[in-house]
């Protein structure tokens, strides 16, 4: 079991205990053993904005950690295979900071390993569509070997109750785009943590697209570990009535001359639609020359919705190129609507144009024309 100090509790000389909150995002307690975490109550910092009562089976129950059906496109330079828990790559990108993540780590039998090599550009899609309705734990490793280049699309469809960890490892000068696409069925619950470590002069573009599912919680954590490393974290989400879509993003600049950009945009419509975005950026003391910026924008389309947006920035060195953050949540711009209507466009069509334009900024940066067209159509379907 974890010590009192691991959970931020400090012992005084007279035997009393006092709570001392963790001061730095990277200092949170981590463990791969679910037994090291207490039951989730919803009062914890990582859970306080989540509907924890709706997925107790994933945070503390017994999980099915067996393999599951996977489909992938056959592409030269990309290997997709199941590996044992003893694979040396497991644990190299990060470790759980909360109970659902640790429960998945403690439960999986084998990990799905996606290994990318070769300097030629390539695109591969890995699809999961038959996970079932029982609680499941899973683990995925994505390794981009030095100087490799690829776009990897992780496609999730159908029904599921899933908690999982995804580790992303970029070698020197690798250039990888990872798209996590959540188009789950209406009752699906998906809790996932993505841990990424980026080597010297490597570049990761990480894109989260959450459209389907009942509760979807995708938390990317990226460590810029090598000098000259670069990351761009993009997110697009559209919450309908009763949906809970959540993202907790962490970027840790741990090496000199690293760069990060975080841009998440979402739309909400329907009674009870809820989105949560928390963005943490830590510029470490050993990261001079850092250039970082994060932003979150939310467009509220109807009454009865709620969007939480919390950007945080920690800086431990004064020798940086730049750092900043921004957050905004609002309704339609009346002037935009008036302008479009004055050109003979109906109000309903004007609203659709504004939403498409708002979200297209993310779609157009993915780099896969076929997927971009498909997502534009999915956004249009959300609006009809």
pLDDT, tens digit, for every residue of 204-216?
A: 999 999 999 999 9
pLDDT at 378 over 70: yes
pLDDT at 152 over 80: yes
Average pLDDT over residues 186-200: 98
Residue identified by tokens 């997925």 is 55
Average pLDDT over residues 64-73: 96
349 pLDDT band, cuts 50/70/90, is confident
pLDDT at 338: 73
Q: What percent of the chain stands above pLDDT 70?
A: 94
pLDDT at 199 over 80: yes
pLDDT at 10: 38
- Which sequence spans correspond to the domains of the chain? 34-331, 332-383
Strand partners, 219: 193
pLDDT at 12: 40
- State the DSSP string of 40-88: P-S-STTTTTS-GGGGHHHHTS--B-S----EE---TTEEEEEEETT-T
pLDDT at 333 over 80: no
Residues 6 or more apart whose CB falls under 8 angstroms from that of 122 comprise 75, 76, 77, 78, 116, 149, 150, 151
pLDDT at 14 over 50: no
Quick check: helix, strand or coil at residue 363?
helix
pLDDT at 175 over 80: yes
pLDDT at 344: 80
- How many residues does the structure list for the chain? 384
pLDDT at 313: 94
Average pLDDT over residues 14-35: 72
Nearest CA to 141 out of 172, 108, 165 is that of 165
pLDDT at 82 over 80: yes
pLDDT at 27 over 90: no
Quick check: helix, strand or coil at residue 272?
coil
Average pLDDT over residues 280-299: 97
Mean pLDDT of the chain: 92
pLDDT at 23: 61
Average pLDDT over residues 47-59: 97
4 pLDDT band, cuts 50/70/90, is very low
- DSSP H helical ranges for the chain: 56-59, 99-107, 334-342, 347-363, 369-383
Q: Identify the residue with better confidence: 301 or 2.
A: 301
């Amino acid at each position: 079991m974890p010590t009192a100090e691991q959970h931020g509790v400090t012992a005084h000389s007279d035997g009393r205990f006092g709570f001392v909150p963790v001061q730095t995002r990277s200092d949170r307690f981590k463990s791969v053993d679910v037994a090291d975490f207490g039951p989730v109550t919803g009062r914890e910092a990582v859970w306080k904005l989540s509907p924890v009562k709706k997925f107790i089976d994933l945070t503390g129950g017994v999980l099915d950690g067996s393999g599951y059906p996977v489909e992938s496109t056959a592409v030269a330079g990309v290997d997709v295979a199941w590996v044992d828990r003893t694979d040396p790559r497991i644990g190299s990108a990060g470790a759980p900071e909360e109970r659902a993540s640790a429960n998945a780590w403690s439960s999986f039998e084998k990990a799905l390993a996606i290994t990318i090599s070769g300097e030629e550009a390539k695109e591969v899609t890995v699809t999961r569509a038959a996970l079932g309705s029982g609680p499941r734990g899973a683990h995925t490793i994505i390794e981009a070997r030095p100087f490799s280049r690829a776009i990897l699309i992780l496609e999730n469809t159908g029904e599921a109750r899933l908690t999982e960890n995804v580790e992303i490892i970029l070698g020197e000068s690798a250039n990888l785009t990872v798209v996590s696409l959540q188009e789950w069925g209406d009752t699906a619950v998906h809790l996932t943590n993505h841990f990424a470590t980026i080597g010297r002069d490597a570049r990761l573009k990480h894109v989260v697209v959450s459209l389907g599912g009942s509760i979807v919680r995708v938390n990317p954590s990226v460590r810029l570990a090598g000098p000259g490393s670069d990351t761009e974290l993009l997110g697009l989400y559209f919450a309908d009535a009763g949906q809970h879509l959540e993202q907790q993003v962490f970027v840790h600049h741990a090496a000199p001359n690293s760069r990060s950009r975080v841009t998440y945009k979402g739309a909400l419509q329907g009674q009870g639609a809820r989105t949560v975005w928390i963005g943490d950026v830590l510029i470490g003391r050993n990261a001079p020359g850092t250039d970082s910026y994060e932003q979150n924008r939310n467009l509220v389309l109807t009454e009865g919705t709620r969007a939480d947006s919390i950007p945080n920035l920690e800086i431990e060195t004064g020798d940086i190129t730049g750092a900043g953050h921004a957050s905004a949540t609002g309704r339609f711009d009346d002037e935009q609507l008036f302008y479009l209507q004055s050109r003979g466009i109906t109000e309903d069509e004007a609203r659709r144009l504004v939403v498409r334009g708002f979200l297209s900024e993310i779609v157009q940066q993915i780099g896969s024309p076929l997927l971009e067209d498909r997502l534009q159509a999915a956004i249009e379907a959300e609006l009809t």
